[in-house]
Protein backbone atom coordinates (compact mmCIF):
# COMPACT_ATOMS: atom_id res chain seq x y z
CA UNK A 1 0.00 0.00 0.00
CA UNK A 2 1.40 3.37 -1.01
CA UNK A 3 2.19 6.06 1.52
CA UNK A 4 -0.65 8.23 0.21
CA UNK A 5 -3.21 5.45 0.51
CA UNK A 6 -2.02 4.71 4.05
CA UNK A 7 -2.88 8.26 5.01
CA UNK A 8 -6.47 7.67 3.82
CA UNK A 9 -6.69 4.56 5.98
CA UNK A 10 -5.42 6.55 8.96
CA UNK A 11 -7.95 9.26 8.16
CA UNK A 12 -10.83 6.74 8.12
CA UNK A 13 -9.58 5.40 11.49
CA UNK A 14 -9.63 8.89 12.93
CA UNK A 15 -13.21 9.32 11.74
CA UNK A 16 -14.12 6.03 13.45
CA UNK A 17 -12.64 7.17 16.75
CA UNK A 18 -14.46 10.46 16.32
CA UNK A 19 -17.68 8.51 15.80
CA UNK A 20 -17.19 6.65 19.09
CA UNK A 21 -16.74 9.89 21.00
CA UNK A 22 -19.30 12.12 19.28
CA UNK A 23 -21.86 9.70 17.88
CA UNK A 24 -21.52 11.38 14.48
CA UNK A 25 -20.97 8.85 11.74
CA UNK A 26 -19.64 9.25 8.23
CA UNK A 27 -21.96 7.76 5.62
CA UNK A 28 -19.58 5.65 3.55
CA UNK A 29 -22.22 4.83 0.95
CA UNK A 30 -22.65 8.53 0.21
CA UNK A 31 -18.95 9.36 0.26
CA UNK A 32 -17.14 9.89 -3.00
CA UNK A 33 -13.40 10.03 -3.66
CA UNK A 34 -11.24 11.57 -6.32
CA UNK A 35 -7.55 11.16 -7.12
CA UNK A 36 -5.84 14.54 -7.07
CA UNK A 37 -2.43 16.10 -7.70
CA UNK A 38 0.18 13.79 -9.20
CA UNK A 39 -2.23 10.82 -8.96
CA UNK A 40 -5.00 12.60 -10.84
CA UNK A 41 -5.00 10.03 -13.68
CA UNK A 42 -5.12 6.98 -11.40
CA UNK A 43 -8.01 4.65 -12.18
CA UNK A 44 -7.83 2.39 -9.08
CA UNK A 45 -10.92 1.95 -6.96
CA UNK A 46 -9.87 0.95 -3.45
CA UNK A 47 -10.95 0.76 0.22
CA UNK A 48 -14.54 -0.06 -0.74
CA UNK A 49 -15.21 3.63 -1.43
CA UNK A 50 -16.90 5.21 -4.46
CA UNK A 51 -14.59 6.55 -7.16
CA UNK A 52 -16.99 8.08 -9.69
CA UNK A 53 -15.80 8.98 -13.21
CA UNK A 54 -17.94 12.12 -13.34
CA UNK A 55 -16.98 15.37 -11.54
CA UNK A 56 -17.54 15.38 -7.80
CA UNK A 57 -19.71 18.09 -6.27
CA UNK A 58 -18.40 19.49 -3.00
CA UNK A 59 -19.91 22.48 -1.18
CA UNK A 60 -21.72 23.55 -4.35
CA UNK A 61 -18.67 23.37 -6.59
CA UNK A 62 -18.01 20.70 -9.22
CA UNK A 63 -14.42 19.46 -9.02
CA UNK A 64 -12.76 18.09 -12.13
CA UNK A 65 -9.44 18.35 -13.95
CA UNK A 66 -11.24 18.78 -17.29
CA UNK A 67 -11.07 22.56 -17.81
CA UNK A 68 -13.99 22.80 -20.26
CA UNK A 69 -16.14 20.62 -18.05
CA UNK A 70 -15.19 22.75 -15.04
CA UNK A 71 -16.22 25.98 -16.79
CA UNK A 72 -19.43 24.46 -18.07
CA UNK A 73 -20.56 23.01 -14.75
CA UNK A 74 -19.48 25.83 -12.48
CA UNK A 75 -19.71 29.02 -14.48
CA UNK A 76 -22.09 28.44 -17.40
CA UNK A 77 -24.83 27.11 -15.13
CA UNK A 78 -24.49 30.09 -12.84
CA UNK A 79 -24.50 32.51 -15.77
CA UNK A 80 -27.67 30.86 -17.01
CA UNK A 81 -29.30 31.34 -13.59
CA UNK A 82 -28.15 34.93 -13.61
CA UNK A 83 -29.78 35.55 -16.99
CA UNK A 84 -32.99 33.85 -15.84
CA UNK A 85 -33.14 36.13 -12.81
CA UNK A 86 -32.49 39.15 -15.04
CA UNK A 87 -35.31 38.10 -17.36
CA UNK A 88 -37.64 37.65 -14.43
CA UNK A 89 -37.00 41.24 -13.25
CA UNK A 90 -36.99 42.74 -16.73
CA UNK A 91 -40.73 43.12 -17.09
CA UNK A 92 -41.22 44.76 -13.71
CA UNK A 93 -40.94 48.39 -14.81
CA UNK A 94 -37.94 49.16 -12.61
CA UNK A 95 -35.99 52.40 -12.95
CA UNK A 96 -32.34 52.30 -13.98
CA UNK A 97 -31.37 52.90 -10.36
CA UNK A 98 -33.56 49.98 -9.38
CA UNK A 99 -32.03 47.75 -12.01
CA UNK A 100 -28.54 48.72 -10.82
CA UNK A 101 -29.59 47.55 -7.34
CA UNK A 102 -30.82 44.24 -8.72
CA UNK A 103 -27.52 43.74 -10.54
CA UNK A 104 -25.50 44.38 -7.40
CA UNK A 105 -27.61 42.34 -5.02
CA UNK A 106 -29.24 39.53 -7.02
CA UNK A 107 -27.28 39.00 -10.23
CA UNK A 108 -23.63 39.31 -9.25
CA UNK A 109 -24.16 37.45 -6.00
CA UNK A 110 -24.65 34.28 -8.05
CA UNK A 111 -21.00 34.44 -9.09
CA UNK A 112 -19.29 35.76 -5.96
CA UNK A 113 -18.97 32.44 -4.15
CA UNK A 114 -17.29 30.59 -7.02
CA UNK A 115 -15.22 33.62 -8.10
CA UNK A 116 -13.75 33.93 -4.61
CA UNK A 117 -12.31 30.41 -4.81
CA UNK A 118 -11.36 29.77 -8.44
CA UNK A 119 -9.80 31.72 -11.29
CA UNK A 120 -12.44 33.35 -13.48
CA UNK A 121 -11.82 33.00 -17.23
CA UNK A 122 -12.09 36.13 -19.34
CA UNK A 123 -14.95 34.64 -21.36
CA UNK A 124 -17.00 34.35 -18.16
CA UNK A 125 -16.33 37.99 -17.25
CA UNK A 126 -17.41 39.04 -20.75
CA UNK A 127 -20.58 37.00 -20.61
CA UNK A 128 -21.47 38.29 -17.13
CA UNK A 129 -21.02 41.86 -18.38
CA UNK A 130 -23.17 41.17 -21.41
CA UNK A 131 -26.02 39.94 -19.19
CA UNK A 132 -25.62 42.80 -16.71
CA UNK A 133 -25.56 45.64 -19.20
CA UNK A 134 -28.26 44.19 -21.41
CA UNK A 135 -30.44 44.17 -18.30
CA UNK A 136 -29.39 47.68 -17.22
CA UNK A 137 -30.16 49.27 -20.59
CA UNK A 138 -32.97 46.93 -21.63
CA UNK A 139 -30.94 46.30 -24.78
CA UNK A 140 -28.07 48.23 -26.34
CA UNK A 141 -25.66 50.23 -24.15
CA UNK A 142 -26.39 53.95 -24.19
CA UNK A 143 -23.44 55.14 -22.10
CA UNK A 144 -19.95 53.80 -21.46
CA UNK A 145 -19.79 50.81 -19.10
CA UNK A 146 -16.72 52.25 -17.41
CA UNK A 147 -18.83 55.28 -16.51
CA UNK A 148 -21.78 53.27 -15.16
CA UNK A 149 -19.52 51.50 -12.64
CA UNK A 150 -18.55 54.88 -11.23
CA UNK A 151 -20.23 56.30 -8.11
CA UNK A 152 -23.12 58.76 -8.27
CA UNK A 153 -20.88 61.76 -7.58
CA UNK A 154 -18.96 61.00 -10.76
CA UNK A 155 -21.95 60.47 -12.98
CA UNK A 156 -22.24 56.69 -12.60
CA UNK A 157 -24.87 54.33 -11.25
CA UNK A 158 -22.64 52.44 -8.82
CA UNK A 159 -23.01 49.20 -10.77
CA UNK A 160 -20.47 46.75 -9.36
CA UNK A 161 -17.73 45.83 -11.81
CA UNK A 162 -17.33 42.07 -11.96
CA UNK A 163 -13.71 42.06 -13.11
CA UNK A 164 -12.70 44.38 -10.26
CA UNK A 165 -14.69 42.23 -7.85
CA UNK A 166 -12.76 39.15 -8.95
CA UNK A 167 -9.47 40.93 -8.23
CA UNK A 168 -10.71 42.23 -4.88
CA UNK A 169 -11.97 38.81 -3.81
CA UNK A 170 -8.59 37.31 -4.66
CA UNK A 171 -6.58 39.97 -2.86
CA UNK A 172 -8.66 39.41 0.26
CA UNK A 173 -6.94 36.01 0.54
CA UNK A 174 -3.85 37.86 1.81
CA UNK A 175 -5.73 38.63 5.00
CA UNK A 176 -6.66 34.96 5.39
CA UNK A 177 -3.05 33.99 4.76
CA UNK A 178 -1.95 36.11 7.70
CA UNK A 179 -4.70 35.10 10.10
CA UNK A 180 -3.07 33.03 12.80
CA UNK A 181 -4.41 29.59 12.03
CA UNK A 182 -3.04 26.69 10.09
CA UNK A 183 -4.67 25.46 6.89
CA UNK A 184 -3.67 23.15 4.06
CA UNK A 185 -4.01 25.80 1.39
CA UNK A 186 -1.59 28.08 3.25
CA UNK A 187 1.01 25.36 3.38
CA UNK A 188 0.54 24.78 -0.34
CA UNK A 189 0.86 28.46 -1.21
CA UNK A 190 3.95 28.82 1.00
CA UNK A 191 5.40 25.72 -0.64
CA UNK A 192 4.94 27.36 -4.06
CA UNK A 193 6.72 30.57 -3.04
CA UNK A 194 9.34 28.96 -0.79
CA UNK A 195 12.13 29.25 -3.42
CA UNK A 196 11.66 33.04 -3.31
CA UNK A 197 11.69 33.43 0.46
CA UNK A 198 8.07 32.47 1.23
CA UNK A 199 6.05 35.35 2.66
CA UNK A 200 9.00 37.64 2.00
CA UNK A 201 8.00 37.67 -1.68
CA UNK A 202 4.89 39.76 -0.96
CA UNK A 203 7.09 42.48 0.53
CA UNK A 204 9.45 42.61 -2.47
CA UNK A 205 9.36 44.74 -5.60
CA UNK A 206 8.97 41.71 -7.87
CA UNK A 207 7.90 41.31 -11.47
CA UNK A 208 5.05 38.75 -11.41
CA UNK A 209 5.74 37.42 -14.91
CA UNK A 210 9.15 36.18 -13.76
CA UNK A 211 7.67 33.81 -11.21
CA UNK A 212 6.53 30.57 -12.69
CA UNK A 213 3.82 29.65 -10.17
CA UNK A 214 2.02 26.61 -11.56
CA UNK A 215 -1.25 27.22 -9.75
CA UNK A 216 -3.22 29.89 -11.62
CA UNK A 217 -5.22 30.99 -8.57
CA UNK A 218 -2.08 31.83 -6.56
CA UNK A 219 -0.16 33.10 -9.60
CA UNK A 220 -2.95 35.66 -10.04
CA UNK A 221 -2.90 36.54 -6.34
CA UNK A 222 0.81 37.33 -6.64
CA UNK A 223 0.22 39.29 -9.83
CA UNK A 224 -2.77 41.26 -8.49
CA UNK A 225 -0.90 42.21 -5.33
CA UNK A 226 2.09 43.62 -7.24
CA UNK A 227 -0.22 45.57 -9.54
CA UNK A 228 -2.28 46.83 -6.62
CA UNK A 229 0.69 48.07 -4.61
CA UNK A 230 2.34 49.67 -7.64
CA UNK A 231 -0.86 51.51 -8.48
CA UNK A 232 -1.60 52.96 -5.05
CA UNK A 233 1.56 53.06 -2.97
CA UNK A 234 3.02 56.50 -2.43
CA UNK A 235 5.61 55.05 -0.06
CA UNK A 236 6.69 51.51 0.81
CA UNK A 237 9.83 49.54 1.54
CA UNK A 238 9.66 47.13 -1.41
CA UNK A 239 12.22 48.97 -3.54
CA UNK A 240 14.71 48.95 -0.62
CA UNK A 241 14.66 45.15 -0.42
CA UNK A 242 17.45 43.39 -2.28
CA UNK A 243 15.69 40.08 -2.84
CA UNK A 244 13.35 39.41 -5.75
CA UNK A 245 13.85 43.03 -6.77
CA UNK A 246 13.04 43.38 -10.47
CA UNK A 247 15.72 46.04 -10.82
CA UNK A 248 18.51 44.08 -9.13
CA UNK A 249 19.56 41.36 -11.55
CA UNK A 250 22.40 38.88 -11.81
CA UNK A 251 22.69 36.96 -15.07
CA UNK A 252 19.50 38.65 -16.18
CA UNK A 253 17.43 37.40 -13.25
CA UNK A 254 16.34 38.80 -9.89
CA UNK A 255 18.04 37.08 -6.96
CA UNK A 256 17.20 35.48 -3.67
CA UNK A 257 20.02 34.08 -1.50
CA UNK A 258 18.33 32.13 1.26
CA UNK A 259 21.49 31.87 3.37
CA UNK A 260 21.90 35.67 3.36
CA UNK A 261 18.24 36.27 4.07
CA UNK A 262 18.32 33.81 6.99
CA UNK A 263 21.10 35.94 8.48
CA UNK A 264 18.79 38.95 8.20
CA UNK A 265 20.37 40.59 5.18
CA UNK A 266 17.39 42.32 3.58
CA UNK A 267 17.93 45.99 2.76
CA UNK A 268 20.17 47.65 0.20
CA UNK A 269 21.44 49.87 3.03
CA UNK A 270 23.07 46.84 4.66
CA UNK A 271 25.38 46.46 1.65
CA UNK A 272 27.13 49.70 2.74
CA UNK A 273 27.67 50.89 -0.79
CA UNK A 274 29.66 53.94 0.36
CA UNK A 275 32.49 51.54 1.41
CA UNK A 276 34.53 49.31 -0.84
CA UNK A 277 33.88 45.58 -1.23
CA UNK A 278 36.49 44.43 1.29
CA UNK A 279 35.54 46.89 4.04
CA UNK A 280 31.84 46.20 3.70
CA UNK A 281 32.40 42.45 3.67
CA UNK A 282 34.40 42.66 6.88
CA UNK A 283 31.60 44.52 8.56
CA UNK A 284 28.89 42.15 7.36
CA UNK A 285 30.94 39.19 8.61
CA UNK A 286 31.06 40.64 12.11
CA UNK A 287 27.58 42.21 12.19
CA UNK A 288 25.55 39.32 10.82
CA UNK A 289 28.05 36.49 11.27
CA UNK A 290 27.58 35.91 7.59
CA UNK A 291 30.25 33.78 6.04
CA UNK A 292 30.38 35.02 2.50
CA UNK A 293 32.63 34.55 -0.50
CA UNK A 294 34.27 37.79 -1.72
CA UNK A 295 33.18 37.32 -5.34
CA UNK A 296 29.57 36.61 -4.45
CA UNK A 297 29.55 39.68 -2.20
CA UNK A 298 31.09 41.92 -4.86
CA UNK A 299 28.72 40.54 -7.48
CA UNK A 300 25.66 41.29 -5.37
CA UNK A 301 26.88 44.83 -4.65
CA UNK A 302 27.62 45.59 -8.28
CA UNK A 303 24.14 44.39 -9.28
CA UNK A 304 22.55 47.33 -7.47
CA UNK A 305 21.65 49.89 -10.14
CA UNK A 306 22.50 53.56 -9.64
CA UNK A 307 18.83 54.43 -9.16
CA UNK A 308 18.65 52.24 -6.02
CA UNK A 309 22.07 53.00 -4.52
CA UNK A 310 20.82 55.81 -2.33
CA UNK A 311 18.19 53.66 -0.56
CA UNK A 312 18.73 54.24 3.14
CA UNK A 313 15.61 52.53 4.51
CA UNK A 314 16.24 49.94 7.14
CA UNK A 315 13.60 47.40 6.24
CA UNK A 316 12.16 45.46 9.12
CA UNK A 317 9.79 42.72 8.18
CA UNK A 318 6.95 43.01 10.63
CA UNK A 319 3.63 41.26 10.84
CA UNK A 320 2.11 43.95 8.67
CA UNK A 321 2.10 43.77 4.90
CA UNK A 322 1.20 46.96 3.11
CA UNK A 323 2.12 50.42 1.97
CA UNK A 324 1.43 54.08 2.55
CA UNK A 325 -1.16 55.77 0.41
CA UNK A 326 -0.60 59.45 1.20
CA UNK A 327 0.22 58.91 4.88
CA UNK A 328 -2.50 56.32 5.42
CA UNK A 329 -1.22 52.79 5.87
CA UNK A 330 -3.00 50.19 3.78
CA UNK A 331 -2.63 46.95 5.73
CA UNK A 332 -3.19 43.86 3.58
CA UNK A 333 -3.29 41.63 6.64
CA UNK A 334 -6.55 43.36 7.64
CA UNK A 335 -8.06 44.45 4.32
CA UNK A 336 -11.25 42.82 3.08
CA UNK A 337 -12.37 42.60 -0.53
CA UNK A 338 -14.53 45.71 -0.19
CA UNK A 339 -11.45 47.71 0.82
CA UNK A 340 -9.57 46.57 -2.27
CA UNK A 341 -12.59 47.26 -4.44
CA UNK A 342 -12.78 50.88 -3.33
CA UNK A 343 -9.20 51.41 -4.51
CA UNK A 344 -9.32 49.36 -7.69
CA UNK A 345 -12.50 50.86 -9.04
CA UNK A 346 -10.75 54.26 -9.12
CA UNK A 347 -8.37 52.87 -11.73
CA UNK A 348 -11.11 51.64 -13.99
CA UNK A 349 -14.13 53.90 -13.63
CA UNK A 350 -14.29 56.98 -15.84
CA UNK A 351 -16.57 59.99 -16.17
CA UNK A 352 -19.41 59.61 -18.68
CA UNK A 353 -18.72 60.84 -22.22
CA UNK A 354 -21.27 63.54 -21.56
CA UNK A 355 -19.04 65.12 -18.88
CA UNK A 356 -16.94 66.99 -21.46
CA UNK A 357 -20.03 68.23 -23.25
CA UNK A 358 -21.60 69.46 -20.00
CA UNK A 359 -18.38 71.21 -18.97
CA UNK A 360 -17.89 73.02 -22.26
CA UNK A 361 -21.55 73.85 -22.80
CA UNK A 362 -22.08 75.29 -19.35
CA UNK A 363 -18.54 76.37 -18.49
CA UNK A 364 -18.35 74.52 -15.17
CA UNK A 365 -15.33 73.01 -13.43
CA UNK A 366 -14.81 69.45 -12.18
CA UNK A 367 -15.96 70.21 -8.60
CA UNK A 368 -19.20 71.72 -9.82
CA UNK A 369 -19.73 68.79 -12.12
CA UNK A 370 -19.50 66.40 -9.16
CA UNK A 371 -22.01 68.53 -7.30
CA UNK A 372 -24.48 68.44 -10.20
CA UNK A 373 -24.09 64.69 -10.56
CA UNK A 374 -24.84 64.18 -6.84
CA UNK A 375 -27.77 66.58 -6.81
CA UNK A 376 -30.60 64.22 -7.89
CA UNK A 377 -29.79 61.77 -5.10
CA UNK A 378 -29.66 64.58 -2.54
CA UNK A 379 -32.89 66.33 -3.43
CA UNK A 380 -35.20 63.65 -4.85
CA UNK A 381 -36.63 60.76 -2.89
CA UNK A 382 -38.23 59.31 -6.00
CA UNK A 383 -35.95 57.08 -8.04
CA UNK A 384 -37.91 57.86 -11.20
CA UNK A 385 -36.88 61.52 -10.85
CA UNK A 386 -33.27 60.54 -10.15
CA UNK A 387 -33.43 58.41 -13.28
CA UNK A 388 -34.94 61.23 -15.25
CA UNK A 389 -32.21 63.68 -14.28
CA UNK A 390 -29.52 61.01 -14.81
CA UNK A 391 -30.69 60.69 -18.42
CA UNK A 392 -30.74 64.47 -18.90
CA UNK A 393 -27.15 64.73 -17.65
CA UNK A 394 -26.08 61.91 -19.97
CA UNK A 395 -27.89 63.36 -22.99
CA UNK A 396 -29.84 60.15 -23.41
CA UNK A 397 -33.35 61.50 -22.80
CA UNK A 398 -35.50 60.49 -25.75
CA UNK A 399 -35.81 63.58 -27.94
CA UNK A 400 -36.89 63.69 -31.58
CA UNK A 401 -33.23 63.96 -32.61
CA UNK A 402 -32.58 60.58 -30.99
CA UNK A 403 -35.84 59.05 -32.17
CA UNK A 404 -35.19 60.13 -35.77
CA UNK A 405 -31.75 58.49 -35.64
CA UNK A 406 -33.45 55.32 -34.46
CA UNK A 407 -35.91 55.58 -37.34
CA UNK A 408 -38.92 55.90 -35.03
CA UNK A 409 -40.07 59.41 -36.07
CA UNK A 410 -39.79 61.30 -39.39
CA UNK A 411 -38.83 64.74 -38.13
CA UNK A 412 -36.29 65.83 -35.53
CA UNK A 413 -38.07 69.15 -34.97
CA UNK A 414 -39.42 70.18 -31.57
CA UNK A 415 -42.71 68.58 -30.53
CA UNK A 416 -43.98 71.91 -29.13
CA UNK A 417 -42.97 74.56 -31.67
CA UNK A 418 -42.03 72.46 -34.70
CA UNK A 419 -39.44 75.11 -35.61
CA UNK A 420 -36.10 74.06 -34.12
CA UNK A 421 -34.31 70.75 -33.70
CA UNK A 422 -35.38 69.12 -30.46
CA UNK A 423 -32.17 68.85 -28.45
CA UNK A 424 -32.18 68.70 -24.68
CA UNK A 425 -31.45 72.37 -24.17
CA UNK A 426 -34.17 73.47 -26.57
CA UNK A 427 -36.78 71.05 -25.28
CA UNK A 428 -36.34 71.84 -21.60
CA UNK A 429 -35.42 75.53 -21.80
CA UNK A 430 -35.14 77.63 -24.93
CA UNK A 431 -38.29 76.51 -26.71
CA UNK A 432 -40.79 79.40 -26.47
CA UNK A 433 -43.30 77.07 -24.81
CA UNK A 434 -40.79 75.91 -22.21
CA UNK A 435 -39.64 79.48 -21.58
CA UNK A 436 -43.26 80.41 -20.87
CA UNK A 437 -43.47 77.48 -18.44
CA UNK A 438 -40.37 78.66 -16.55
CA UNK A 439 -41.67 82.26 -16.40
CA UNK A 440 -44.83 80.93 -14.75
CA UNK A 441 -42.64 78.77 -12.53
CA UNK A 442 -40.71 81.86 -11.37
CA UNK A 443 -43.97 83.68 -10.54
CA UNK A 444 -45.20 80.69 -8.61
CA UNK A 445 -41.91 80.48 -6.69
CA UNK A 446 -42.12 84.21 -5.87
CA UNK A 447 -45.64 83.76 -4.55
CA UNK A 448 -44.68 80.87 -2.29
CA UNK A 449 -41.29 82.00 -0.99
CA UNK A 450 -41.32 85.71 -1.61
CA UNK A 451 -37.98 85.52 -3.36
CA UNK A 452 -37.12 86.41 -6.94
CA UNK A 453 -35.43 83.94 -9.21
CA UNK A 454 -34.35 84.27 -12.79
CA UNK A 455 -33.62 80.85 -14.20
CA UNK A 456 -30.89 80.36 -16.78
CA UNK A 457 -30.50 77.39 -19.08
CA UNK A 458 -27.77 76.03 -16.76
CA UNK A 459 -30.10 76.31 -13.74
CA UNK A 460 -32.76 74.35 -15.57
CA UNK A 461 -30.61 71.64 -17.14
CA UNK A 462 -28.06 71.08 -14.33
CA UNK A 463 -29.50 72.67 -11.23
CA UNK A 464 -28.44 75.49 -8.92
CA UNK A 465 -25.37 75.26 -6.70
CA UNK A 466 -25.44 76.30 -3.06
CA UNK A 467 -26.60 74.64 0.11
CA UNK A 468 -30.05 76.11 0.55
CA UNK A 469 -31.47 75.29 -2.84
CA UNK A 470 -32.69 71.76 -2.15
CA UNK A 471 -36.38 72.43 -2.67
CA UNK A 472 -35.77 74.72 -5.64
CA UNK A 473 -33.60 72.07 -7.30
CA UNK A 474 -36.25 69.47 -6.58
CA UNK A 475 -38.94 71.68 -8.14
CA UNK A 476 -36.78 72.30 -11.21
CA UNK A 477 -36.31 68.57 -11.79
CA UNK A 478 -40.01 68.02 -11.21
CA UNK A 479 -40.77 70.88 -13.62
CA UNK A 480 -38.57 69.35 -16.30
CA UNK A 481 -40.28 66.00 -15.83
CA UNK A 482 -43.63 67.78 -16.37
CA UNK A 483 -42.33 69.30 -19.62
CA UNK A 484 -41.23 65.83 -20.68
CA UNK A 485 -44.61 64.39 -19.74
CA UNK A 486 -46.29 67.04 -21.91
CA UNK A 487 -43.96 66.26 -24.81
CA UNK A 488 -44.83 62.58 -24.64
CA UNK A 489 -48.55 63.33 -24.56
CA UNK A 490 -48.26 65.96 -27.26
CA UNK A 491 -49.69 68.81 -25.18
CA UNK A 492 -48.08 72.17 -24.46
CA UNK A 493 -46.23 72.58 -21.14
CA UNK A 494 -48.58 73.84 -18.50
CA UNK A 495 -47.75 75.20 -15.04
CA UNK A 496 -51.09 73.96 -13.70
CA UNK A 497 -49.90 70.39 -14.13
CA UNK A 498 -46.80 71.24 -12.13
CA UNK A 499 -48.80 72.79 -9.31
CA UNK A 500 -51.10 69.80 -9.03
CA UNK A 501 -48.11 67.45 -9.02
CA UNK A 502 -46.29 69.51 -6.39
CA UNK A 503 -49.30 69.32 -4.06
CA UNK A 504 -49.47 65.56 -4.52
CA UNK A 505 -45.75 65.25 -3.76
CA UNK A 506 -46.16 67.31 -0.61
CA UNK A 507 -48.98 65.14 0.63
CA UNK A 508 -47.18 61.90 -0.12
CA UNK A 509 -43.98 63.01 1.57
CA UNK A 510 -45.89 64.31 4.58
CA UNK A 511 -47.63 60.96 4.92
CA UNK A 512 -44.30 59.11 4.67
CA UNK A 513 -42.57 61.48 7.09
CA UNK A 514 -45.30 60.90 9.71
CA UNK A 515 -45.14 57.17 9.20
CA UNK A 516 -41.35 57.00 9.39
CA UNK A 517 -40.98 59.67 12.07
CA UNK A 518 -38.82 61.83 9.80
CA UNK A 519 -40.77 65.04 10.13
CA UNK A 520 -37.58 66.99 10.84
CA UNK A 521 -36.19 66.18 7.41
CA UNK A 522 -39.56 66.88 5.87
CA UNK A 523 -39.84 70.32 7.47
CA UNK A 524 -36.30 71.13 6.47
CA UNK A 525 -37.05 70.37 2.83
CA UNK A 526 -40.48 71.99 2.43
CA UNK A 527 -39.88 75.71 2.90
CA UNK A 528 -43.56 76.28 2.19
CA UNK A 529 -46.74 74.28 2.07
CA UNK A 530 -48.06 74.19 -1.52
CA UNK A 531 -51.51 73.24 -0.20
CA UNK A 532 -51.77 76.62 1.51
CA UNK A 533 -51.67 78.45 -1.82
CA UNK A 534 -54.61 78.83 -4.10
CA UNK A 535 -52.97 78.37 -7.44
ZN1 LIG B 1 -39.62 74.17 -29.52
364 & 494 share domain: yes
Q: Would you say residue 251 lies in a domain? A: yes
- Nearest in space to 382 (alpha carbons), one of 533, 519, 512: 512
129 & 236 share domain: no
The whole-chain average pLDDT of the chain stands at 93
- Nearest in space to 339 (alpha carbons), one of 232, 238, 190, 206: 232
The string of pLDDT tens digits covering residues 480-503 is 999 999 999 999 999 999 999 999
138 & 240 share domain: no
Please give the Cα distance from 197 to 114 (Å, whole number). 30
Q: How far is the CA of 266 from the centre of ligand 1 (A)?
A: 73
Note down the domain range covering 311.
Answer: 219-334
Q: How far is the CA of 495 from the centre of ligand 1 (A)?
A: 17
Work out whether strand 322-325 and strand 328-331 pair parallel, antiparallel, or are unpaired: antiparallel
The string of pLDDT tens digits covering residues 39-65 is 888 888 888 888 888 888 888 899 888
Q: Which ranges of 380-517 does DSSP label H, i.e. alpha helix?
A: 383-393, 400-405, 424-425, 432-449, 457-461, 470-488, 495-515
Q: How far is the CA of 421 from the centre of ligand 1 (A)?
A: 8
Burial zone of 31 (CB within 10 Å; 0-12 exposed, 13-18 middle, 19+ buried): exposed
Q: How far is the CA of 431 from the centre of ligand 1 (A)?
A: 4
The three-state secondary structure class of 363 is coil
Q: How far is the CA of 412 from the centre of ligand 1 (A)?
A: 11
DSSP 268-309: GGGG-TTS-HHHHHHHHHHHH-----HHHHHHHHHTS-GGGT
Q: How far is the CA of 400 from the centre of ligand 1 (A)?
A: 11
Q: Would you say residue 205 lies in a domain? A: no
Residue 262 has pLDDT above 90, yes or no: yes
Q: Would you say residue 73 lies in a domain? A: yes
441 & 499 share domain: yes
Q: How far is the CA of 426 from the centre of ligand 1 (A)?
A: 6
Q: How far is the CA of 248 from the centre of ligand 1 (A)?
A: 69
Q: How far is the CA of 491 from the centre of ligand 1 (A)?
A: 12
Q: How far is the CA of 434 from the centre of ligand 1 (A)?
A: 8
Residue 456 has pLDDT above 70, yes or no: yes
Q: How far is the CA of 413 from the centre of ligand 1 (A)?
A: 8
383 & 522 share domain: yes
Q: What pLDDT does residue 492 have?
A: 96
524 & 396 share domain: yes
| pLDDT band per the 50, 70, 90 thresholds, residue 467 | confident
Residue 393 has pLDDT above 80, yes or no: yes
Q: How far is the CA of 428 from the centre of ligand 1 (A)?
A: 9
Domain final residue, candidates 149, 171, 193: 171
| pLDDT band per the 50, 70, 90 thresholds, residue 129 | very high
Q: What pLDDT does residue 50 have?
A: 86
φ and ψ at residue 86, rounded to 5 degrees: -60, -45
Please give the Cα distance from 255 to 257 (Å, whole number). 7
Mean pLDDT of 467-473: 91
Q: How far is the CA of 251 from the centre of ligand 1 (A)?
A: 74
Residue 7 has pLDDT above 90, yes or no: no
Q: How far is the CA of 462 from the centre of ligand 1 (A)?
A: 19
Q: What pLDDT does residue 533 have?
A: 77
The three-state secondary structure class of 397 is coil
Q: How far is the CA of 414 from the centre of ligand 1 (A)?
A: 4
The string of pLDDT tens digits covering residues 112-121 is 999 999 999 9
Mean pLDDT of 84-94: 93
306 & 427 share domain: no
> Bridge partners of 254?
249
319 & 366 share domain: no
389 & 466 share domain: yes
Q: How far is the CA of 145 from the centre of ligand 1 (A)?
A: 32
71 & 157 share domain: yes
Q: Would you say residue 210 lies in a domain? A: no
Domain final residue, candidates 152, 171, 190: 171
Q: Would you say residue 507 lies in a domain? A: yes
478 & 512 share domain: yes
Q: How far is the CA of 437 from the centre of ligand 1 (A)?
A: 12
Model-level pTM? 0.88
Residue 182 has pLDDT above 90, yes or no: no
Q: Would you say residue 182 lies in a domain? A: no
Q: What pLDDT does residue 89 have?
A: 96
Please give the Cα distance from 189 to 221 (Å, whole number). 10
Q: How far is the CA of 435 from the centre of ligand 1 (A)?
A: 10
Mean pLDDT of 422-430: 96
Q: Would you say residue 189 lies in a domain? A: no
Q: How far is the CA of 484 from the centre of ligand 1 (A)?
A: 12
Q: How far is the CA of 407 from the centre of ligand 1 (A)?
A: 21
464 & 363 share domain: yes
Please give the Cα distance from 354 to 265 (Å, whole number). 55
Domain count, the chain: 4
Please tell me what DSSP assigns to residue 421.
B
Q: What percent of the chain has pLDDT over 90?
A: 78
Q: How far is the CA of 228 from the centre of ligand 1 (A)?
A: 52
Q: How far is the CA of 362 from the centre of ligand 1 (A)?
A: 20
Q: What pLDDT does residue 249 have?
A: 96
Please give the Cα distance from 462 to 440 (Å, whole number). 19
Q: Would you say residue 26 lies in a domain? A: yes
Q: Which helix (H) or strand (E) holds 16?
A: helix 3-22
Please give the Cα distance from 308 to 98 (Å, whole number). 52
Q: How far is the CA of 490 from the centre of ligand 1 (A)?
A: 12
Amino acid sequence: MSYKLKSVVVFLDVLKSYEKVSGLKINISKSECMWIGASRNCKREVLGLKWPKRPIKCLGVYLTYDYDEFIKLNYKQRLKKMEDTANWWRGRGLTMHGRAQIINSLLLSKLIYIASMFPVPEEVIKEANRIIFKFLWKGQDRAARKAMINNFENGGLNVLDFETMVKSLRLAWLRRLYIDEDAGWKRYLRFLIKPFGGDLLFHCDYEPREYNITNKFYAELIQFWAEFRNAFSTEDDSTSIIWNNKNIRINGKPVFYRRFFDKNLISIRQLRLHLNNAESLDLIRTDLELNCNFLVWAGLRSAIPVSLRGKENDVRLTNALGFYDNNTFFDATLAKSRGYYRFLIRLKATLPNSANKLQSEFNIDATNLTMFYSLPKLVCLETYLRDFQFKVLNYITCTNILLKKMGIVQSDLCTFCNLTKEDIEHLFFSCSFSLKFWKDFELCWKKCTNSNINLTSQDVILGISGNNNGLLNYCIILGKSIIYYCRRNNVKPNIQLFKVKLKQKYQTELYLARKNATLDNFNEKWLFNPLAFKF
